[in-house]
């Protein structure tokens, strides 16, 4: 049996980076509670297009919680009210009939708004380009288990690699810091044998790129970990800090 609710959407509209933005309110009657949040936005846009109006621009891609594109600030929280959930995984059954839902883009100087709910997250790409890779020629893929890696280390590296680069950590941080993202990408490589030869230069270059991109500093409030849809631990930030100090002293 289908259940429906009536909602009022308060959505941030902004034509481009330099234009002043504003909130616009839309009535959404008869929202199917089995819809995902993005499907609900599709229904709204379909209606706006049929009415000859400009649809709401928002990012999306896989809609399976792994691409990190669905960046929306929903009722004051990145990706909405559920812990460990991306916007595309959020379903309308978690909202109440008659509720007003406020939808905003990520708010950070390093994430300038392109249009409506779409922001420019190329700052993350600059951090990855600075050192988020292994540059040595490794040849063909080695046989499985040919390089011994302790399970606890492999598990921690895998947890760090789960970061999808959505930017929720930046949106949640009062300083708009991207240290959780940067630390996860540093840990992902530096924990494994293949990444250790470039460990020092990697952390120095990636932190430098983080600062140059305009992200704020980390003051350890933990909001990033609390709002991360993949539960990335701030222990990776502690590791990044230790590695950064060590690399700086060696340099």
Portions of the chain given CATH number 3.10.20.30: 4-104
Percent residues over pLDDT 70 in the chain: 98
Closest CA relative to residue 124, chosen from 157, 88, 163: 163
Q: How far apart are CA 192 and CA 149, in angstroms?
A: 7
pLDDT at 138: 65
Over the range 171-192, which residues count as b (16 or more CB within 10 Å of their CB) and which as e?
bbbeebbbbbbbbbbbbbbbbb
User: CATH 1.10.1060.10 in the chain, residues?
Assistant: 122-250
What CATH number belongs to 4-104? 3.10.20.30
* Phi–psi pair at 133, nearest 5 degrees: -160, 170
How many beta carbons lie within 10 A of that of residue 20, not counting itself? 6
| Residues 122-250, CATH architecture | Orthogonal Bundle (1.10)
Q: Alpha-carbon distance 198 to 48, whole Å?
A: 51
Does the predicted TM-score (pTM) go above 0.75?
Answer: yes
Look at residue 136 in the predicted model and tell me its pLDDT. Answer: 75
Span 110-166, pLDDT tens digits: 999 999 999 999 999 999 999 999 887 767 777 777 888 999 999 999 999 999 999
What parts of the chain have a pLDDT lower than 70? Answer: 1-2, 138
User: Which of the 8 DSSP states describes residue 236?
Assistant: H
**Residue corresponding to tokens 């499907």:** 39
pLDDT at 112: 97
């Amino acid at each position: 049996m289908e259940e429906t609710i009536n909602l009022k959407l308060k959505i941030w509209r902004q034509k481009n980076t330099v234009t002043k933005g504003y909130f616009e309110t839309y009535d959404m009657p008869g929202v199917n509670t089995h819809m995902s949040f993005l499907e609900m936005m599709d229904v709204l846009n379909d209606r706006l297009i049929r009415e000859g109006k400009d649809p709401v621009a928002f990012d999306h891609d896989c809609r399976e919680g792994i691409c990190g594109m669905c960046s929306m600030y929903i009722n004051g929280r990145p990706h909405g009210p559920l812990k460990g959930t991306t916007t595309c995984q959020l379903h309308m059954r978690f909202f109440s009939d008659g509720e007003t839902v406020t939808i905003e883009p990520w708010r950070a100087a390093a994430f300038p708004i392109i249009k409506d709910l779409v922001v420019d997250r190329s700052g993350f790409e600059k951090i990855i380009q600075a050192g988020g890779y292994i540059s040595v020629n490794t040849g063909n893929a080695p046989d499985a288990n040919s390089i011994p890696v302790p399970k606890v280390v492999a598990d921690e590296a895998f947890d760090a690699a789960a970061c999808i680069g959505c930017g929720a950590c930046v949106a949640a941080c009062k300083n708009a810091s991207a240290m959780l993202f940067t630390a996860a990408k540093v840990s992902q490589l530096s924990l494994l044998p293949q990444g250790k030869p470039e460990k020092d230069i990697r952390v120095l270059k990636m932190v430098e790129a983080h600062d140059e991109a305009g992200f704020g500093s980390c003051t350890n409030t933990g909001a990033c970990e609390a709002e991360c849809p993949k539960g990335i631990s701030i222990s990776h930030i502690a590791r990044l800090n230790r590695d950064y100090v060590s690399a700086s002293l060696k340099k």
